[in-house]
Structure 1
Amino acid sequence: MFRRLYDLVVRGAGHPRAPTWLGVLSFAESSFFPIPPDVMLAPMVLADRRRAWWFALIATVGSVLGGMLGYLIGALFLETLLPWLRELGYYEGYATARDWFADYGFWAVLLAGFSPIPYKVFTIAAGAVAMPFVPFALGSLIGRGARFFIVAGLVRWFGPVFEQRLLKYIDWIGWAIVAAVFIAVAVYQLR
Protein backbone atom coordinates (compact mmCIF):
# COMPACT_ATOMS: atom_id res chain seq x y z
CA MET A 1 0.00 0.00 0.00
CA PHE A 2 2.69 2.52 0.98
CA ARG A 3 4.75 1.80 -2.15
CA ARG A 4 1.74 2.58 -4.37
CA LEU A 5 1.13 5.82 -2.49
CA TYR A 6 4.81 6.71 -2.82
CA ASP A 7 4.78 6.06 -6.58
CA LEU A 8 1.60 8.10 -7.00
CA VAL A 9 3.15 11.06 -5.17
CA VAL A 10 6.33 10.95 -7.28
CA ARG A 11 4.34 10.75 -10.54
CA GLY A 12 2.26 13.74 -9.43
CA ALA A 13 5.38 15.91 -9.17
CA GLY A 14 5.36 16.56 -12.93
CA HIS A 15 1.73 17.63 -13.17
CA PRO A 16 0.80 21.32 -13.73
CA ARG A 17 -1.10 21.26 -10.43
CA ALA A 18 1.86 19.80 -8.58
CA PRO A 19 2.39 22.90 -6.38
CA THR A 20 -1.18 22.58 -5.10
CA TRP A 21 -0.70 18.87 -4.53
CA LEU A 22 2.57 19.57 -2.71
CA GLY A 23 0.72 21.90 -0.34
CA VAL A 24 -2.03 19.34 0.23
CA LEU A 25 0.49 16.51 0.73
CA SER A 26 2.49 18.63 3.18
CA PHE A 27 -0.69 19.47 5.09
CA ALA A 28 -1.87 15.86 5.19
CA GLU A 29 1.52 14.40 6.16
CA SER A 30 1.69 16.62 9.24
CA SER A 31 -1.52 15.27 10.65
CA PHE A 32 -2.50 11.89 9.14
CA PHE A 33 -0.89 10.86 5.80
CA PRO A 34 2.12 8.47 5.74
CA ILE A 35 4.16 9.81 2.76
CA PRO A 36 6.57 12.73 3.45
CA PRO A 37 6.45 15.72 1.07
CA ASP A 38 10.19 15.39 0.32
CA VAL A 39 9.39 12.68 -2.25
CA MET A 40 7.38 15.22 -4.25
CA LEU A 41 9.46 18.30 -3.42
CA ALA A 42 12.73 16.88 -4.79
CA PRO A 43 11.41 15.95 -8.27
CA MET A 44 9.58 19.28 -8.51
CA VAL A 45 12.80 21.17 -7.81
CA LEU A 46 14.61 19.07 -10.40
CA ALA A 47 11.92 19.89 -12.95
CA ASP A 48 12.07 23.65 -12.31
CA ARG A 49 15.12 24.70 -10.29
CA ARG A 50 14.25 28.41 -10.52
CA ARG A 51 11.18 27.78 -8.35
CA ALA A 52 12.98 25.73 -5.67
CA TRP A 53 12.40 28.30 -2.91
CA TRP A 54 8.74 28.72 -3.88
CA PHE A 55 8.21 24.95 -3.66
CA ALA A 56 9.97 24.85 -0.27
CA LEU A 57 7.70 27.65 0.98
CA ILE A 58 4.58 25.80 -0.20
CA ALA A 59 5.75 22.65 1.62
CA THR A 60 6.52 24.65 4.77
CA VAL A 61 3.19 26.49 4.92
CA GLY A 62 1.23 23.32 4.17
CA SER A 63 3.16 21.39 6.80
CA VAL A 64 2.71 24.03 9.52
CA LEU A 65 -1.03 24.29 8.83
CA GLY A 66 -1.33 20.49 8.83
CA GLY A 67 0.63 20.42 12.08
CA MET A 68 -1.98 22.72 13.59
CA LEU A 69 -4.65 20.19 12.60
CA GLY A 70 -2.54 17.43 14.18
CA TYR A 71 -2.28 19.53 17.35
CA LEU A 72 -6.07 19.87 17.40
CA ILE A 73 -6.50 16.14 16.84
CA GLY A 74 -4.18 15.40 19.77
CA ALA A 75 -5.91 17.92 22.01
CA LEU A 76 -9.44 16.68 21.28
CA PHE A 77 -9.22 13.04 20.19
CA LEU A 78 -6.14 11.39 21.72
CA GLU A 79 -8.04 8.71 23.64
CA THR A 80 -9.82 7.68 20.46
CA LEU A 81 -6.53 7.60 18.52
CA LEU A 82 -4.41 5.59 20.96
CA PRO A 83 -5.54 2.16 19.67
CA TRP A 84 -4.95 3.34 16.09
CA LEU A 85 -1.45 4.61 16.99
CA ARG A 86 -0.65 1.21 18.49
CA GLU A 87 -2.04 -0.71 15.52
CA LEU A 88 -0.07 1.30 12.95
CA GLY A 89 3.15 1.11 14.96
CA TYR A 90 3.24 4.82 15.84
CA TYR A 91 2.72 4.44 19.58
CA GLU A 92 6.43 4.17 20.43
CA GLY A 93 7.09 7.30 18.36
CA TYR A 94 4.21 9.03 20.16
CA ALA A 95 5.66 8.05 23.56
CA THR A 96 9.08 9.35 22.50
CA ALA A 97 7.56 12.62 21.29
CA ARG A 98 5.59 13.02 24.53
CA ASP A 99 8.79 12.53 26.56
CA TRP A 100 10.66 15.01 24.36
CA PHE A 101 7.97 17.62 25.03
CA ALA A 102 8.32 17.10 28.75
CA ASP A 103 12.10 17.54 28.55
CA TYR A 104 12.61 20.02 25.70
CA GLY A 105 9.30 21.75 24.75
CA PHE A 106 9.95 24.11 21.82
CA TRP A 107 13.19 22.32 20.90
CA ALA A 108 11.31 19.02 20.52
CA VAL A 109 9.05 20.53 17.87
CA LEU A 110 11.99 22.14 16.11
CA LEU A 111 13.87 18.83 16.07
CA ALA A 112 10.76 16.99 14.92
CA GLY A 113 11.10 18.79 11.60
CA PHE A 114 14.21 16.68 10.92
CA SER A 115 13.42 13.52 12.84
CA PRO A 116 12.66 10.31 10.96
CA ILE A 117 9.81 9.79 13.44
CA PRO A 118 6.73 10.87 11.44
CA TYR A 119 5.98 14.55 12.09
CA LYS A 120 2.28 13.80 12.63
CA VAL A 121 3.27 11.90 15.78
CA PHE A 122 4.84 15.09 17.18
CA THR A 123 1.91 17.32 16.23
CA ILE A 124 -0.62 14.98 17.81
CA ALA A 125 1.57 14.57 20.91
CA ALA A 126 1.95 18.36 21.25
CA GLY A 127 -1.82 18.76 21.35
CA ALA A 128 -2.24 15.77 23.69
CA VAL A 129 0.15 17.23 26.27
CA ALA A 130 -1.29 20.75 25.81
CA MET A 131 2.02 22.28 24.72
CA PRO A 132 1.59 26.07 24.49
CA PHE A 133 0.39 26.77 20.96
CA VAL A 134 2.65 29.70 20.01
CA PRO A 135 5.94 27.86 20.76
CA PHE A 136 4.50 24.84 18.94
CA ALA A 137 3.67 26.88 15.84
CA LEU A 138 7.01 28.71 15.91
CA GLY A 139 8.98 25.48 16.34
CA SER A 140 7.01 23.93 13.48
CA LEU A 141 7.68 26.87 11.21
CA ILE A 142 11.42 26.92 11.91
CA GLY A 143 11.96 23.13 11.94
CA ARG A 144 9.84 22.24 8.93
CA GLY A 145 10.95 25.32 7.02
CA ALA A 146 14.61 24.51 7.59
CA ARG A 147 14.08 20.93 6.44
CA PHE A 148 12.25 21.82 3.23
CA PHE A 149 14.53 24.71 2.31
CA ILE A 150 17.61 22.53 2.88
CA VAL A 151 16.15 19.73 0.72
CA ALA A 152 15.15 22.17 -2.03
CA GLY A 153 18.53 23.89 -1.95
CA LEU A 154 20.55 20.70 -2.06
CA VAL A 155 18.48 19.23 -4.89
CA ARG A 156 18.66 22.56 -6.75
CA TRP A 157 22.45 22.72 -6.49
CA PHE A 158 23.42 19.07 -6.83
CA GLY A 159 20.65 17.75 -9.08
CA PRO A 160 19.49 14.19 -9.76
CA VAL A 161 22.48 12.47 -8.13
CA PHE A 162 21.70 14.18 -4.85
CA GLU A 163 17.99 13.40 -5.08
CA GLN A 164 18.67 9.66 -5.25
CA ARG A 165 21.10 9.79 -2.33
CA LEU A 166 18.77 12.00 -0.32
CA LEU A 167 15.87 9.61 -0.67
CA LYS A 168 18.11 6.64 0.12
CA TYR A 169 19.64 8.17 3.27
CA ILE A 170 16.91 10.55 4.49
CA ASP A 171 16.50 8.70 7.81
CA TRP A 172 20.25 8.76 8.53
CA ILE A 173 20.46 12.44 7.63
CA GLY A 174 17.50 13.19 9.89
CA TRP A 175 19.05 11.39 12.86
CA ALA A 176 22.41 13.10 12.26
CA ILE A 177 20.74 16.53 12.36
CA VAL A 178 18.79 15.61 15.50
CA ALA A 179 22.02 14.43 17.17
CA ALA A 180 23.85 17.62 16.17
CA VAL A 181 21.09 19.81 17.62
CA PHE A 182 21.00 17.76 20.85
CA ILE A 183 24.76 18.17 21.21
CA ALA A 184 24.49 21.91 20.55
CA VAL A 185 21.71 22.29 23.14
CA ALA A 186 23.68 20.23 25.69
CA VAL A 187 26.82 22.31 25.15
CA TYR A 188 24.78 25.50 25.46
CA GLN A 189 23.17 24.34 28.72
CA LEU A 190 26.54 23.30 30.19
CA ARG A 191 27.93 26.79 29.76
Structure 2
Amino acid sequence: MIQRLYDWTLGLADHRHALWVLAFVAFIESSVFPIPPDIIMIPMIIARPSRAFLIAGVALVASVLGGMLGYAIGALAFEALGEPILNSLGKADSMAEFATRFNDLGFWAVLAAGITPFPYKVITIMSGWTAMPLGTFIATSILARGLRFFIVALLLWKFGAPIRDFIEKRLPLMFTLALALLIGGFFVVKFL
Protein backbone atom coordinates (compact mmCIF):
# COMPACT_ATOMS: atom_id res chain seq x y z
CA MET A 1 0.00 0.00 0.00
CA ILE A 2 2.76 2.47 0.90
CA GLN A 3 4.62 1.63 -2.31
CA ARG A 4 1.50 2.29 -4.41
CA LEU A 5 0.94 5.64 -2.67
CA TYR A 6 4.59 6.57 -3.26
CA ASP A 7 4.40 5.54 -6.92
CA TRP A 8 1.16 7.51 -7.34
CA THR A 9 2.76 10.62 -5.82
CA LEU A 10 5.78 10.29 -8.10
CA GLY A 11 3.43 9.90 -11.05
CA LEU A 12 1.68 13.09 -9.97
CA ALA A 13 4.88 15.03 -10.71
CA ASP A 14 4.30 14.49 -14.44
CA HIS A 15 0.63 15.40 -14.32
CA ARG A 16 -0.22 18.72 -15.95
CA HIS A 17 -1.97 19.91 -12.76
CA ALA A 18 0.74 18.80 -10.31
CA LEU A 19 1.83 22.32 -9.40
CA TRP A 20 -1.79 23.35 -8.81
CA VAL A 21 -2.31 20.40 -6.47
CA LEU A 22 0.85 21.35 -4.57
CA ALA A 23 -0.26 24.99 -4.40
CA PHE A 24 -3.68 23.97 -3.07
CA VAL A 25 -2.19 21.69 -0.38
CA ALA A 26 0.43 24.30 0.64
CA PHE A 27 -2.28 26.98 0.85
CA ILE A 28 -4.75 25.07 2.99
CA GLU A 29 -2.01 23.50 5.17
CA SER A 30 -1.11 26.98 6.38
CA SER A 31 -4.53 27.58 7.87
CA VAL A 32 -6.61 24.41 8.28
CA PHE A 33 -5.22 21.22 6.69
CA PRO A 34 -3.17 18.83 8.86
CA ILE A 35 -0.92 17.36 6.13
CA PRO A 36 2.27 19.33 5.24
CA PRO A 37 2.98 20.10 1.57
CA ASP A 38 6.31 18.27 1.86
CA ILE A 39 4.39 15.01 1.39
CA ILE A 40 3.71 16.09 -2.21
CA MET A 41 6.67 18.41 -2.78
CA ILE A 42 9.46 15.93 -2.02
CA PRO A 43 8.31 13.20 -4.41
CA MET A 44 7.65 15.85 -7.08
CA ILE A 45 11.24 17.09 -6.80
CA ILE A 46 12.64 13.56 -6.69
CA ALA A 47 10.74 12.74 -9.88
CA ARG A 48 11.67 15.99 -11.66
CA PRO A 49 14.86 17.50 -10.11
CA SER A 50 15.11 20.07 -12.93
CA ARG A 51 11.92 21.68 -11.57
CA ALA A 52 13.07 21.69 -7.91
CA PHE A 53 13.19 25.45 -7.49
CA LEU A 54 9.95 26.07 -9.37
CA ILE A 55 8.24 23.52 -7.13
CA ALA A 56 9.72 25.14 -3.99
CA GLY A 57 8.63 28.58 -5.25
CA VAL A 58 5.05 27.43 -5.79
CA ALA A 59 4.99 25.88 -2.31
CA LEU A 60 6.41 29.09 -0.81
CA VAL A 61 3.94 31.48 -2.46
CA ALA A 62 0.92 29.28 -1.75
CA SER A 63 2.01 28.63 1.83
CA VAL A 64 2.49 32.32 2.63
CA LEU A 65 -0.87 33.19 1.05
CA GLY A 66 -2.47 30.40 3.09
CA GLY A 67 -0.71 31.75 6.16
CA MET A 68 -2.36 35.10 5.52
CA LEU A 69 -5.72 33.31 5.50
CA GLY A 70 -4.78 31.69 8.83
CA TYR A 71 -3.84 35.12 10.16
CA ALA A 72 -7.25 36.46 9.06
CA ILE A 73 -9.01 33.52 10.69
CA GLY A 74 -7.23 34.29 13.97
CA ALA A 75 -7.93 37.98 13.73
CA LEU A 76 -11.57 37.71 12.68
CA ALA A 77 -12.64 34.73 14.76
CA PHE A 78 -11.14 36.21 17.92
CA GLU A 79 -12.85 39.55 17.47
CA ALA A 80 -16.19 38.00 16.54
CA LEU A 81 -16.28 35.14 19.03
CA GLY A 82 -13.36 34.94 21.40
CA GLU A 83 -13.26 38.41 22.87
CA PRO A 84 -16.95 38.59 23.93
CA ILE A 85 -16.68 35.16 25.52
CA LEU A 86 -13.51 36.09 27.40
CA ASN A 87 -15.02 39.38 28.57
CA SER A 88 -18.10 37.57 29.93
CA LEU A 89 -15.81 35.18 31.83
CA GLY A 90 -13.56 37.96 33.14
CA LYS A 91 -10.52 36.50 31.33
CA ALA A 92 -9.79 39.27 28.83
CA ASP A 93 -6.85 40.58 30.91
CA SER A 94 -5.05 37.22 31.01
CA MET A 95 -5.51 36.79 27.25
CA ALA A 96 -4.11 40.27 26.63
CA GLU A 97 -1.03 39.32 28.69
CA PHE A 98 -0.61 36.11 26.64
CA ALA A 99 -0.96 38.07 23.39
CA THR A 100 1.76 40.49 24.51
CA ARG A 101 4.14 37.64 25.41
CA PHE A 102 3.45 35.88 22.11
CA ASN A 103 4.06 39.06 20.13
CA ASP A 104 7.33 39.67 22.01
CA LEU A 105 8.52 36.30 20.66
CA GLY A 106 6.35 36.35 17.53
CA PHE A 107 9.17 36.61 14.99
CA TRP A 108 10.89 33.57 16.52
CA ALA A 109 7.63 31.63 16.88
CA VAL A 110 6.72 32.16 13.22
CA LEU A 111 10.28 31.40 12.10
CA ALA A 112 10.48 28.17 14.12
CA ALA A 113 7.04 26.95 13.04
CA GLY A 114 7.71 27.83 9.42
CA ILE A 115 10.92 25.79 9.27
CA THR A 116 10.21 22.84 11.56
CA PRO A 117 7.51 20.15 11.44
CA PHE A 118 5.56 22.15 14.08
CA PRO A 119 2.10 22.84 12.58
CA TYR A 120 2.47 26.19 10.86
CA LYS A 121 -1.30 26.77 10.91
CA VAL A 122 -1.23 27.09 14.71
CA ILE A 123 1.18 30.01 14.49
CA THR A 124 -0.64 31.68 11.59
CA ILE A 125 -3.91 31.68 13.50
CA MET A 126 -2.24 32.76 16.77
CA SER A 127 -0.46 35.58 14.93
CA GLY A 128 -3.79 37.00 13.79
CA TRP A 129 -5.42 36.37 17.16
CA THR A 130 -2.68 38.24 19.03
CA ALA A 131 -2.59 41.06 16.44
CA MET A 132 1.05 40.52 15.50
CA PRO A 133 2.00 43.23 13.01
CA LEU A 134 1.00 41.89 9.60
CA GLY A 135 4.25 43.05 7.98
CA THR A 136 6.32 41.14 10.54
CA PHE A 137 4.17 38.07 10.06
CA ILE A 138 4.43 38.13 6.25
CA ALA A 139 8.19 38.83 6.20
CA THR A 140 8.91 36.10 8.73
CA SER A 141 6.64 33.66 6.90
CA ILE A 142 8.48 34.31 3.63
CA LEU A 143 11.83 33.80 5.35
CA ALA A 144 10.80 30.66 7.23
CA ARG A 145 8.87 28.92 4.50
CA GLY A 146 11.47 29.97 1.92
CA LEU A 147 14.24 28.41 4.00
CA ARG A 148 12.25 25.23 4.53
CA PHE A 149 11.16 24.67 0.95
CA PHE A 150 14.29 25.89 -0.83
CA ILE A 151 16.72 23.97 1.39
CA VAL A 152 14.75 20.80 0.68
CA ALA A 153 14.70 21.68 -3.04
CA LEU A 154 18.45 22.37 -3.07
CA LEU A 155 19.30 19.11 -1.31
CA LEU A 156 17.03 17.05 -3.54
CA TRP A 157 18.28 18.83 -6.68
CA LYS A 158 21.91 18.26 -5.69
CA PHE A 159 21.60 14.73 -4.28
CA GLY A 160 18.34 13.60 -5.90
CA ALA A 161 19.31 10.18 -7.29
CA PRO A 162 21.00 8.84 -4.11
CA ILE A 163 18.18 10.22 -1.95
CA ARG A 164 15.59 8.63 -4.23
CA ASP A 165 17.39 5.28 -4.01
CA PHE A 166 17.65 5.61 -0.21
CA ILE A 167 13.94 6.42 0.13
CA GLU A 168 12.83 3.68 -2.24
CA LYS A 169 14.92 1.02 -0.48
CA ARG A 170 13.60 2.10 2.92
CA LEU A 171 10.09 3.27 2.04
CA PRO A 172 8.31 1.75 5.06
CA LEU A 173 10.90 3.27 7.41
CA MET A 174 10.62 6.68 5.71
CA PHE A 175 6.83 6.53 5.95
CA THR A 176 7.03 5.60 9.64
CA LEU A 177 9.43 8.48 10.37
CA ALA A 178 7.24 10.97 8.52
CA LEU A 179 4.19 9.74 10.42
CA ALA A 180 6.09 9.96 13.74
CA LEU A 181 7.07 13.56 12.97
CA LEU A 182 3.48 14.43 12.12
CA ILE A 183 2.11 12.84 15.30
CA GLY A 184 4.93 14.42 17.32
CA GLY A 185 3.97 17.83 15.97
CA PHE A 186 0.35 17.35 17.04
CA PHE A 187 1.53 16.11 20.47
CA VAL A 188 3.69 19.21 20.94
CA VAL A 189 0.80 21.49 19.99
CA LYS A 190 -1.60 19.77 22.35
CA PHE A 191 0.67 19.82 25.40
CA LEU A 192 2.46 23.17 25.00
Is the TM-score greater than 0.5?
yes
Deviation at 1:161, TM superposition (A): 4.2
2:94 aligned partner: none
Does residue 22 of the first structure (1) align with residue 22 of the second (2)?
yes
1:61 & 1:152 partners in 2: Cα distance?
A: 15
**Residue 104 (structure 1) aligns with:** 105
Q: Name the structure 2 match of 1:51.
A: 51
1:39 aligns to what?
39
Q: Is the 8 A contact 2:72 2:128 kept in 1?
A: yes
Letter in 2 for 1:148: F
Q: Deviations over 1:89-108 (max 9, x none)?
A: xxxxxxxx968734412122
What is the CA–CA distance in structure 1 between the aligned matches of 2:81 and 2:35, rounded to whole Å?
23
Checking the alignment, whether the CA contact within 8 Å between 1:29 and 1:66 is kept in structure 2 is: yes
Report the more deviating stretch, 34-43 or 162-171. Answer: 162-171
Query: Match of 1:73?
Result: 73
Work out the CA distance in 2 between the residues paired with 1:60 and 1:153: 14
In structure 2, distance between residues paired with 1:167 and 1:56: 21
> When the two structures are superposed, what TM-score results if normalisation uses the length of structure 1?
0.69
**Structure 1 stretches of 5 or more lacking a match?**
82-96, 176-191
> 1:39–1:167: 8 Å Cα contact kept in structure 2?
no
What number of residue pairs does the alignment pair up? 155
Three-state SS of the structure 2 residue aligned to 1:136 is helix
The corresponding residue for 2:86 is none
Q: 1:178 — aligned with what?
A: none
2 CA distance for matches of 1:56 and 1:167? 21
Call closer, same or farther: CA 1:130–1:168 in 2, change over 3 Å: same
> Please, which runs of 5 or more residues in structure 2 have no aligned partner?
83-97, 186-192
- Residue 80 of structure 1: how far off its partner (Å): 5.3
RMSD value over aligned CA atoms? 3.3
- Aligned residue type for 1:107: W
**Quick one: distance in 2 between partners of 1:156 and 1:169?**
22
3-state SS of the aligned residue for 2:115? coil
2:136 maps to: 135
Decide whether the 8 Å contact of 2:100 with 2:130 is kept in 1: no
Match of 1:119 in 2: 120
Q: Does the CA contact (< 8 Å) of 1:155 and 1:162 recur in 2?
A: no
Q: Provide Cα deviations, 1:85-125, integer angstroms capped at 9, x if missing partner.
A: xxxxxxxxxxxx96873441212211111232211111000
Q: 1:146 is matched by which residue type in structure 2?
A: L
Matched residue type, 2:111: L
Q: Residues of 1 paired with 2:143 and 2:159: CA distance?
A: 24
Amino acid across the alignment from 1:126? S
Structure showing greater Rg: 2
Instruction: Report the counterpart of residue 92 of structure 2 in structure 1.
Output: none
1:168–1:144 distance in 2 versus 1, CA, 3 Å:
farther
SS at 1:113 equivalent: helix
Question: Quick one: structure 1 residues 102 and 109, their matched pair in 2 at CA, closer, same or farther if it must change by over 3 Å?
Answer: same
The 3 A distance-change label for structure 1 pair 132 and 169 is same
Measured in 1, the distance between the counterparts of 2:159 and 2:130 equals 40
